[in-house]
Amino acid sequence: MTDIPIPPGALSGLKVVEMGQLIAGPFAGKTLADFGADVIKIEAPGSGDPLRNWRLIQDGTSVWWQVQSRNKRSIALDLRSAEGQDIARQLIGEADVLIENFRPGTLEGWGLSWEALSALNPKLIMLRISGYGQTGPYRDLPGFGAIGEAMGGLRHLTGEPGRVPVRCGISIGDTLAALHGTIGILMALYHRQAHGGQGQVIDVALHEAVFNVMESLVPEYSAFGAVREAAGSALPGIAPSNAYRCGDGYVLVAGNGDSIFKRLMSAIGRDDLGNDPALADNAGRVKRVAEIDAAIEAWTQTRTVAEVMEVLNGARVPVGKVYTARDIVEDPHYRARDMILRQPTRDGHVVEVPGIVPKLLGTPGGVRHSAPKLGDDTDAVLREIGLTEQQIAALREHKVVA
């Protein structure tokens, strides 16, 4: 079973060609596909997207693939061949959106430049995700998400003070770039509809997507010469907000609102701090954050995580435990909001995967079909652009398609 009957999504009728591999470009394609866009993923014959073989494998395919490529169609096409490039032009000529995350200049080398493609299809919207963008002195350098996280300023702030910068555990730089790209596509679609039907290029650099979420990093340097440093689990300049040790783990407590702070102090038996006029606002609490954190942890470390959460939830203080994968899949709130989906694979398994975000109540997203095997849809897609069975057979014989 691969097709799952659900209503059309908000992007039903949108035609997308996805070129590229791994994370950033394909995550943007996945987001559009989840909401009904017809995403045709072009992969290299034989190898396909390397993500098919990343991390834990089930029957020869990564289970990550089941999330990243659900709702897409796969065509195995050799873009390095003249025949493959011609087929790509035909597909792009009928598309609304092209997504690519190759190094700048790659498409131009295949005769698929923006100038050529927009002349072929003036309504085309082209998302280009790369390490450093399509312009600037670094444009030709190779760039992955981890490098973008470093250049964007994120890695300098992660980890404990004075220790090696750490990554957050996922490819957040790629995903941020993908989400910025998706927003760009939606804005370009609106502009195309409202202002004359012309397409445009969306140029997303990995480091710029990271930099865009760095909050007060640069303004503080500009105004005060302050270089923000790593602070472990704390949130510098906002107090109290930290991770606190319990008898059996850690909890995160965000007691940085003025009224929340008073409720927090009352809940832990420290009304002396809660009623202290010097701690009535964030500026005062920041000056004494070490004292406040010590008071909170003196209380939490004599209790279990569950006990702390019960008390602080009862006091309406934001609190949470550090979730593992097991915690997530066993949590009733995740289940109640359909954030854990049972998704069939094309090898006959069922794997649990993350649900759909965001939640549109009128035209919700969903999993319409499972992630394709390499080239599952090659013949069907080629027929849609008018190729005959004989032409498809000839292309396959010459290894242009698979």
**Residue 3: band (very low, low, confident or very high) from pLDDT cuts 50, 70, 90:** low
Q: Which two tokens stand for residue 48?
A: 């396909």
- How far apart, in whole angstroms, are the C-alpha atoms of residue 127 and residue 138? 19
pLDDT score for 260: 98
The model's pLDDT over 373-400, given as tens digits with 9 standing for 90+, comes to: 999 999 999 999 999 999 999 999 999 9
Question: Do residues 202 and 127 touch, judged by C-beta distance below 8 A?
Answer: yes
- How far apart, in whole angstroms, are the C-alpha atoms of residue 221 and residue 215? 12
Domain ranges of the chain: 15-213+333-397, 253-316
The model's pLDDT over 214-232, given as tens digits with 9 standing for 90+, comes to: 999 999 999 999 999 999 9
pLDDT score for 179: 98
- How far apart, in whole angstroms, are the C-alpha atoms of residue 378 and residue 88? 12
Q: Which of 96, 174, 203, 293 is catalytic?
A: 174
The model's pLDDT over 67-89, given as tens digits with 9 standing for 90+, comes to: 999 999 999 999 999 999 999 99
Average pLDDT over residues 57-76: 96
The model's pLDDT over 304-318, given as tens digits with 9 standing for 90+, comes to: 999 999 999 999 999
Question: Do residues 333 and 285 touch, judged by C-beta distance below 8 A?
Answer: no
Question: Do residues 15 and 96 touch, judged by C-beta distance below 8 A?
Answer: yes
- How far apart, in whole angstroms, are the C-alpha atoms of residue 249 and residue 265? 21
pLDDT score for 6: 75
pLDDT score for 1: 36
pLDDT score for 363: 94
Q: Which residue from 198, 144, 199 is spatially nearest to 175, judged by alpha carbons?
A: 144
**Residue 4: band (very low, low, confident or very high) from pLDDT cuts 50, 70, 90:** low
Q: What is the DSSP letter of 78?
A: -
Pick the CATH number of 15-213+333-397 from 3.40.50.10540, 3.50.30.40, 2.60.40.10, 3.50.50.60: 3.40.50.10540
pTM beyond 0.85, yes or no: yes
Give 312-353 as a DSSP string.
HHHTT--EEE---HHHHHH-HHHHHTT-EEEEE-TTS-EEEE
To the query of whether residue 174 is one of the catalytic residues in this protein, the response is: yes
Question: Do residues 89 and 388 touch, judged by C-beta distance below 8 A?
Answer: no
